[in-house]
Amino acid sequence: MLHMTLIHWMVVLFFIVLFLVLALLSLREKSTKNMLIMVFSSLLLTIAAAVISLIVLDKYTKKGKILTYQTQRDLAHESVIVRGVMQNAGSYEIGYCTLEVRVSRNPRGGRVSSYFTPTKGLDFLTNKRGQKSSVTQEEEIVQNLKPGEKKKFFMSVRFPTYFEDPKYFLKLHCH
């Protein structure tokens, strides 16, 4: 669910007023059929513009950042444990943040050995034995974060046993 700020509500109000103005202008049309088509099209146009505006506005008002993180490999469960601290870097309250962790396999043999081998379609996603080259997991890590507030997070990501020297990539999404 979208966590609405005052700016979000102003944008919604703007598009409601815009729809009402377009609907009143379409009432001037003499043909009932054309008038209904104009009202319906203005409704679709304002709804689409409002949704796009709210998504873009949400992206730029909800700013979170990961201050520190550390990874620890759990050999008993073949997983990586990611612990860290994230902060609300924006001026508005964040409803929730999800963390996407991608664990990629570090191929042995370097780039030269795989550079000249022919591949088909999406073969780069798996190796010759059909093994995955990366695993991605997304999880909600914090909720209701006030501006400037910091919270600790914890996440565990399982990956296959054949990953040697895995690389970790983190991506934070706040709403």
Q: How far apart are CA 46 and CA 16, in angstroms?
A: 8
The structure tokens 């679709």 sit at 44
Instruction: State whether CATH 3.30.70 applies to domain 64-174.
Output: no
Whether pLDDT at 69 is above 70: yes
Angle at 38 between CA 34 and CA 40, to 5 degrees: 115
Q: Is residue 114 predicted with pLDDT exceeding 70?
A: no
pLDDT at 61: 86
Structure-token pair, residue 157: 């990501």
Residue ranges per structural domain of the chain: 6-61, 64-174
- Radius of gyration over every alpha carbon of the chain, rounded to an integer in angstroms: 24
Tens digits of residue pLDDT in 4-37: 888 899 999 999 999 999 999 999 989 999 999 9
Q: What is the mean pLDDT of residues 145-173?
A: 90
Burial of 81 (0-12, 13-18, 19+ CB in 10 A): middle
Which of 16, 94, 30 minimizes the C-alpha distance to 61? Answer: 94
Percent of the chain, pLDDT > 70?
85
- Residue 161 confidence class, pLDDT cut points 50, 70, 90: confident
The torsion angles phi and psi of 43, rounded to 5 degrees, stand at -65, -50
Among 24-28, 135-139, 146-150, 160-164, whose mean pLDDT is lowest?
A: 160-164
- Contact status, residue 140 vs residue 94, Cβ threshold 8 Å: no
Identity of the highest mean pLDDT range in 48-52, 134-138, 157-161: 48-52
Question: Is 60 exceeded by the pLDDT of residue 117?
Answer: no
> Which of 29-43, 44-58, 112-126 is predicted with the least confidence, judged by mean pLDDT?
112-126
Mean pLDDT over 141-148 rounds to 91
Q: How far is CA 54 from the centre of its chain?
A: 14
